[in-house]
């Protein structure tokens, strides 16, 4: 009896570990690129990015593993919403570089946004614009918004 109980417990543990590893792989967390000081990873809603220049409440240093340097962990009082843009399918799983928008960029995105999307993002602030660097050109990958975590 104990032998079967132990086997079932071991099978459950292996299943949970496999399920978690599969989820991390889908989010791209197993292949996070190099994170310099002050950069944090973000992967949610089809948008994967390394966020630079973000103000955080619980900063982590370079010595911490990349897996734990995620934006949602170092800034728990904000909830992040991603707005991925249409890109070719070979760029969908690529990590992008996300930087704070300039004043002109924020105004341009606000002005060109459809009205129904504006209503869905009431109270959200534009935190980062994500781009993928392809040889000599930049491809706009998506926008990262945040709202207070109520």
pLDDT bin (cut points 50, 70, 90) of residue 131 is very high
Indicate whether 114 and 143 sit together in one domain: yes
Indicate whether 4 and 75 sit together in one domain: no
Indicate whether 104 and 47 sit together in one domain: yes
Indicate whether 24 and 95 sit together in one domain: no
Indicate whether 27 and 58 sit together in one domain: no
pLDDT tens readout for residues 65-108: 777 778 887 888 888 888 888 888 888 888 999 999 987 888 88
pTM given for the model:
0.79
Indicate whether 26 and 85 sit together in one domain: no
pLDDT tens readout for residues 31-69: 888 888 888 888 888 888 999 988 877 777 666 777 777
Q: Are 87 and 139 in contact (CB under 8 A)?
A: yes
Indicate whether 130 and 77 sit together in one domain: yes
Indicate whether 16 and 65 sit together in one domain: no
pLDDT bin (cut points 50, 70, 90) of residue 16 is very high
Indicate whether 54 and 14 sit together in one domain: no
Q: What's the domain range around 27? A: 1-31
């Amino acid at each position: 009896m104990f032998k079967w109980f132990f086997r079932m417990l071991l099978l459950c543990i292996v299943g949970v570990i496999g399920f978690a590893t599969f989820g991390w792989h889908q989010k791209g967390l197993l292949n996070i690129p190099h994170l310099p000081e002050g950069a944090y990873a973000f992967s949610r809603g089809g948008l994967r990015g390394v966020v630079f220049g973000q103000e955080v409440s619980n900063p982590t240093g370079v010595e911490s593993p990349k897996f734990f340097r995620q934006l949602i962990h170092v800034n728990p009082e904000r909830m992040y919403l991603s707005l991925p843009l249409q890109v070719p399918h070979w760029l969908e799983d690529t990590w992008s570089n996300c930087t704070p928008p300039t004043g002109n960029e924020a105004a341009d995105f606000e002005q060109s946004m459809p009205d129904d999307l504006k209503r869905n993002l009431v109270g959200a602030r534009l935190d980062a614009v994500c781009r993928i660097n392809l040889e000599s050109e930049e491809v706009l990958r998506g926008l990262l918004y945040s709202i207070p975590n109520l």
